[in-house]
Amino acid sequence: MHPFKDHPFKVLDDEKMMETVESVQQYGVLVPIIARPSPEGGYEIVSGHRRHRACELAGKETIPAIVRDLDDDEAVLLMVDSNLQRETILPSERAFALKMKLNAMKRKSGRPNKENVSQVGTQKRSDQLLAEQMGESRNQIQRYIRLTELIPPLLNMVDEKKIAFNPAYELSFLKPEEQEMLIETMDYEQATPSLSQAQRLKQFSQEGRLTEDSMLAIMSEGKKPIQDRVMFTSDVLRKYFPKDYTPRKMEETIIKLLEQWKQRRLQQQDQQRRHNSR
């Protein structure tokens, strides 16, 4: 047996998994998993990845399963629906699951042909149907799906609640290379963007004005007044450091060199005082 292709839900060996393992050892698997025959041989798990993993950890060689002949879209719909019922779902899991389900619904609905063109006005959009099934607005569904445009490090920060949902949605409009640059800037500033900062980053990106310096200026808003800070642009500092140095590494190196300079200056002042006292 092998997992579903591009399965969006994480199967972790965490405390909840250990509880499931104990239950499997004591009572077995009470609800069979659902699988489908795989063209490459064996079976593809459609629903029950956590139960399957629990059986592996419990040392079980078999697992009760219901085998169904499902096409790809039917399998996606069943896989997503069975997992969205869980109590705790990470934003990244929900985002990719909704995207997979919406794409499957669109493929299944197809395009109206000449014979039923008169019914087009009565047909609901796939995203509207999905929104009704989920009990959410169509806009909210699209906002969740938009999170799939985030690069993995940023999406992980959303899962870890280091970046809130609304700022994350705005950041998803940044180009991948701009998101990479944001990771370095956040590390340098030791801060994540607020909603207003994320919106300004998005605006600058869409206007083609988002550079390292403009990003740093936006991310440093709301901190100490500019006259109380000494700032260097990346262009000034880069020529003194190896290419693989992050802003954080450059800052640490600068502080270390300044400490050495301070110690030498104090030694020189001490020597001057001794000389004057003679």
* Cβ(168)–Cβ(197) below 8 Å: no
| Structure-token pair, residue 119 | 């019914």
Q: What is the pLDDT of residue 203?
A: 96
DSSP secondary structure, 95-111, as one string: HHHHHHHHHHHHHHH--
pLDDT at 227 over 50: no
pTM of the model: 0.70
Split at pLDDT 50, 70, 90, the class of 218 is: very high
Split at pLDDT 50, 70, 90, the class of 71 is: very high
Report the distance separating Cα 9 and Cα 52, nearest Å: 14
Split at pLDDT 50, 70, 90, the class of 222 is: low
Split at pLDDT 50, 70, 90, the class of 103 is: very high
Closest to 154 in 3D by CA, of 168, 144, 142: 168
pLDDT at 67 over 90: yes
32-47: average pLDDT: 93
Report the distance separating Cα 170 and Cα 183, nearest Å: 15
Give residue 180's Cα distance to chain centre. 13
Q: Which sign does the torsion angle of CA 208, 214, 220, 225 carry?
A: negative
Total Cβ atoms within 10 A of residue 14:
10
| Structure-token pair, residue 163 | 């970046």
Q: What is the pLDDT of residue 212?
A: 92
| 63-72, 150-159, 220-229: range with lowest mean pLDDT | 220-229
